[in-house]
A = this chain, B = another copy of it.
């Protein structure tokens, strides 16, 4: 890209997307933007960027910084000497297009009507999230990223990014992601959408929508964390023993879910939730960018990648994105001649482990990311690079 001005470290910005911004399923957004936070400093070669894709519910605020000292969702992982070492890397965290924390989404005002998009927001795909984030990378004047890193939905987005923008990143880190959702994950999310969409469409008012969001979030939490963790932490403990029918929340596990669900329902835009959830179900790495195509062909997509290296991390207790899916990602990347490291961790937090187990993830991520700064894997022809593993 052309010479760009230096970028101030550690800040929160909003970047305008090209307008109109065409979505892969056919819609277009006028005047759309994405919220971005950056940590660390872009080096003079502008090649130390790590693009971070988040899970469904996260904002761009992944770590605290001077302009926002509140803890970020990946606080333990980002900073000087941490897994995403800001002494070495320039971390770019983007709020997903379609979300509700500064990026354009269903809660934003549609300039055509002056009203929030709501369910008139055009159909969103994971590829669109990757594309909007890459537009931010372009705006920052970064030609090639050291890595794209993503967790959960972000893991899918990282894979989509690799397929949509061959050569724009040298490596990928997929954590608890998927090439495509399982039937069971689709069933779970479909149920959550039916709940939230039903309340939104019924016109029953904000209380009903908040109730539906709370319930949907509880289903989510229960699909994220393992039953072993619930059993160990709560068992059958009761805060008000045998309070009878009352609130139905006298088991401590019930109060705990209530607390988390309320927090989420009070801050997340319901149609954003709906759109991001649906995008996860529709994602298929074997059909990236080819909506009308025939059968899914992940191997074909994998052959188009231009990555030198990949790190795939799975968690054995994850039921929503099971390790079989993680193994499939690793096997596919390996078969496409990408030097791929596969790591399986064990944590009772299941799908949520990347949020709670910094001690487990840090050494794995650090070793991988630090090795990226060494000369060998920085060839600009990744497809012909020797396998390092």
Determine whether A222 belongs to the interface, using a CB cutoff of 8 Å to chain B: yes
Interchain nearest-CB distance for A356 vs B (Å): 17
Determine whether A119 belongs to the interface, using a CB cutoff of 8 Å to chain B: yes
> Complex formed: what's the CA distance from A182 to B253 in Å?
10
Closest to A120 in B: B245
Given contacts A183-B253, A198-B211, A253-B187, contact A193 B227 (CB under 8 A): no
Copies of this chain per assembly = 2
> Complex formed: what's the CA distance from A183 to B255 in Å?
12
Cβ-defined contact, B186 with A254, below 8 A: yes
Given contacts A244-B25, A245-B123, A278-B248, contact A182 B227 (CB under 8 A): yes
From B191, B227, B322, A227 is in contact (CB under 8 Å) with B322
Determine whether A181 belongs to the interface, using a CB cutoff of 8 Å to chain B: yes
Q: Within residues 94 to 125 of chain A, which ones have a CB less than 8 A from any CB in chain B?
A: 119, 123
Contact with B along A238-262 (1 / 0, CB 8 A): 0000101100110101100100000
Cβ-defined contact, B190 with A230, below 8 A: no
Determine whether A219 belongs to the interface, using a CB cutoff of 8 Å to chain B: yes
Determine whether A184 belongs to the interface, using a CB cutoff of 8 Å to chain B: yes
Contact with B along A123-157 (1 / 0, CB 8 A): 10000000000000000000000000000000000
Residues of B contacting A235 with CB < 8 Å? 183
Determine whether A188 belongs to the interface, using a CB cutoff of 8 Å to chain B: yes
Given contacts A190-B249, A242-B291, contact A184 B257 (CB under 8 A): no
Interchain nearest-CB distance for A196 vs B (Å): 10
Cβ-defined contact, B234 with A219, below 8 A: no
Contact with B along A197-237 (1 / 0, CB 8 A): 11000101000100100010011001000010011011110
> Complex formed: what's the CA distance from A376 to B104 in Å?
76
> Complex formed: what's the CA distance from A103 to B289 in Å?
57
- The tally of residues in A whose CB lies under 8 Å from a CB in B reads 50
Determine whether A332 belongs to the interface, using a CB cutoff of 8 Å to chain B: no
Determine whether A385 belongs to the interface, using a CB cutoff of 8 Å to chain B: no
> Complex formed: what's the CA distance from A219 to B194 in Å?
12
Residues of B contacting A75 with CB < 8 Å? none
> Complex formed: what's the CA distance from A251 to B191 in Å?
12
Residues of B contacting A215 with CB < 8 Å? 191, 194-195, 198, 215
Given contacts A227-B182, A278-B245, contact A257 B187 (CB under 8 A): yes
Interchain nearest-CB distance for A206 vs B (Å): 13
- The interface centre, meaning the residue of A183, A215, A248 with most chain B CB atoms within 10 A of its CB, is A183
Residues of B contacting A25 with CB < 8 Å? 244
Cβ-defined contact, B187 with A222, below 8 A: yes
Closest to A182 in B: B231
Q: Which 6 A-B pairs have the closest CB atoms?
A: A184-B227, A183-B230, A183-B234, A183-B253, A190-B254, A184-B230
Known: A25-B244, A187-B230, A219-B219. 5 other contacts (CB 8 A): A123-B244, A187-B218, A227-B319, A227-B322, A236-B296
